[in-house]
Amino acid sequence: MGRKVTLATCSLNQWSLDFEGNLDRILKSVEIAKTQGAKYRLGPELEICGYGCADHFYESDTLLHSFQVLRMLLESPITQDIICDVGIKILLIRPKMLMANHGNYRELRWFSPWNQLRKVEEYFLPRMIQEVTGQETVPFGDCVLSTKDTCIGTEMCAELWNPRSPHIQLGLDGVEIFTNSSASHHELRKADQRVNLVKSATTKSGGIYLYANQRGCDGDRVYYDGCAMVAINGDIVAQGAQFSLNDVEVITATVDLEDVRSYRGELCHEPKPCHRVKVDFSLSTDDDIYLPAHQPITWLFHTPEEEISLGPACWLWDYLRRSGQAGFLLPLSGGVDSSSTACIVNSMCVLLCQAIEDNNSQVLEDVRRVVGEQSYYPQSPRDLCGHIFTTCYMASENSSSDTCNRAKDLSNQIGSTHININIDIAVKGILGIFSAVTGRWPQFQANGGSQRENLALQNIQARVRMLLAYLFAQLSLWARGKPGGLLVLGSANVDESLTGYFTKYDCSSADINPIGGISKTDLKSFLLYCVEHFQLTALRGILAAPPTAELEPLTDGQVSQTDEADMGMTYSELSVIGRLRKISKCGPFSMFCKLIHMWKDALSPTEVAQKVKHFFRMYSINRHKMTTVTPSYHAESYSPDDNRFDLRPFLYNTRWTWQFRCIDNQVTIKT
């Protein structure tokens, strides 16, 4: 009897409700797995219908079409002679026992967990499946597969992250291979957690772990980042790409079952065994003595700067190629935020050109369709950027020549089609309408106006820029004699969203925003990375300049308004506050209690109290802006996106009387 088995796990770009495309990608992955000698193929969670169907899970059509695809998989000759999670014969249905129901996940909204440990029932298959397999029922429940040479158990996605992970009991019961069909989205610095969990799952009790994950934008704010892997006895032996433009990636590993059995030599077994479904099939062969087993590897983690460069870029490309649009338009101000968005588009073009150079025919086909030229072949990332990316600098009388030049220099280096627009005519026209009705003409505070006038004049500039951005997105290609329209890109970072430091419906409002879940601190580090990695030297001047909205009059031609002065706190302080608010679940008082220790070397308790109260006033006054904020790439676990991730009210008592009184009492006691 052989002892070495070759196993395959996948990262698939499965689109929600794209049953035909998902079927093709599943079959392609099975075909690749068999070509590479695998006898077991693992795919991601809900790979037939796509993980992100949301309330479409309520529809009977979703279940019907999933079974129709399953029937086609069962009938296909490609799925013969290999065990798949959707294979030639239905061996068992293992329901999910522990649901993901936090952050972006809402599984309990559509599904119920199987909470009957070690229990198995008979499930009656639909007639369309019975006609293919000849089966009337299949085992349904907490059970495992027992082949002629090994035992295979399953845990799904969130079950790996749970303190009661099924692999613990399965390992004690003698299960040697664990599989995990996952739909785990990307967050900055998350990959190491995932890898450590998989390694830990087999370090304690031995075993082989197969991890599969979705890849790409499944139709929402999250990006699934692959990272398929195979581990044995606490070591990773095969690693898939974390970010890739390939729709299908299959990694295989040959592992020795005897290594698991030796590792478990003195392990006690579980007295409550799982129900075993016997399978007349072997994963190994009798002549595998010369088949080399995969050796442990060191996982190559991306830095956060690389993750920002790669994840949002892949997400943007998925969105663009599915949208039917011809490219992107970005209001480029010459500041850190809009420059970061531009650099992510540049990174996307670099990835596309590399994929085409690597003979990815699907990417080339998609690029030609987006560009609208069937014979187009990009000569360089800069060439491609010129075809699909338009940037525009929208100057007003309050704009400095420095920001204008910085935007132009960056555009020249990445190759975007750049436009200079002056918005003063539009601003004065709108104010003229107001003046004709009221007989009043508002003034900036610097010119003797009130705070209300000052804010209104800033907002008019910002909102005019949004209108012009959409106008040029719809008609700039038309004006150049080219077909199609452009998607408008946003550039508000996660910290500004926390405090509402942006105008509602301004130029940060857009179709999608690749940096809306990324902190200002991380964006600055990302731009430093781009200076070195992409040789974008124009970014040095952008990084050296103080962040400013440039909405108030200049002083002697120089910027007098800065973001941090307007917000009343630095971006680094805001990043700490954001993490305490969401991740540590702090209200005003508990946040104050933590910060007096964290900031004791820099601020007194009175100053900490002022910062905390100022933040919560700004947060609560502007929380309503999150109901209209541009859909953003989810990258941070302290994101304030209220679509699904951060479910909080948008109408508060902004005085926070009770909470602030508790803070004041503590300050009084301290002083």
User: Parallel, antiparallel, or unpaired for β 151-155 and 143-146?
Assistant: antiparallel
338 belongs to the catalytic site = no
Distance in Å from the first CA to the final CA of the chain = 78
Give exposure, 58-94, as e/b (b: 16+ Cβ within 10 Å).
eeeebeebbebbbbebbeeebbeebbbbbbbebbbeb
> From residue 27, how far is each of 21, 77, 211, 224, 369 by CA, in Å?
10, 10, 19, 20, 25
- Residue 89 one-letter amino acid: K
Handedness of CA 61, 62, 67, 72 (dihedral sign): positive
Crossing angle of helices 336-357/304-323, nearest 10°? 70
Tracing tokens 């989205």 back to the chain, one arrives at: 185
Question: Which pair of tokens denotes residue 179?
Answer: 């599989």
Distance (Å, whole) CA 126 – CA 60: 13
Distance (Å, whole) CA 87 – CA 42: 10
Q: Where are the beta strands (DSSP E) in 346-457?
A: 389-395, 417-422
Question: Which pair of tokens denotes residue 453?
Answer: 């006038």
- Residue 533 one-letter amino acid: H
How long a stretch of residues is the chain?
671
Handedness of CA 107, 111, 115, 116 (dihedral sign): negative
45 belongs to the catalytic site = yes
Q: Where are the beta strands (DSSP E) in 40-82?
A: 40-42
For residues 609 and 667, the answer to whether their CB atoms sit within 8 Å is yes
Distance (Å, whole) CA 410 – CA 401: 14
Distance (Å, whole) CA 274 – CA 270: 9
Q: What are phi and psi of 640, to 5 degrees?
A: -95, 10
Q: Strand, coil or helix: what is 643?
A: coil
> From residue 437, how far is each of 428, 430, 431, 507 by CA, in Å?
14, 11, 10, 27
Q: Among 10, 45, 143, 343, which one carries the catalytic annotation?
A: 45
Distance (Å, whole) CA 459 – CA 651: 21
| Beta bridge mates, 209 | 178, 231
Tracing tokens 């209001």 back to the chain, one arrives at: 331
- Residue 660 one-letter amino acid: F
One DSSP character per residue, 512-579 reads BBTTTTS-HHHHHHHHHHHHHHS--TTHHHHHHSPP----S--BTTB----HHHHHTS-HHHHHHHHH
> From residue 651, how far is each of 267, 287, 567, 620, 660 by CA, in Å?
57, 70, 20, 7, 18
Q: Among 333, 340, 476, 620, which one carries the catalytic annotation?
A: 333
Q: Where are the beta strands (DSSP E) in 82-184?
A: 83-84, 120-124, 137-141, 143-146, 151-155, 177-182
Q: What are phi and psi of 526, to 5 degrees?
A: -65, -40
Q: Among 4, 34, 96, 524, which one carries the catalytic annotation?
A: 96
Instruction: Give, in degrees to the nearest 5, the angle at Cα 397 between 396 and 399.
Output: 65
Nearest to 435 by CA among 456, 455, 451: 456
Distance (Å, whole) CA 154 – CA 152: 7
- Catalytic center residues: 45, 96, 157, 333
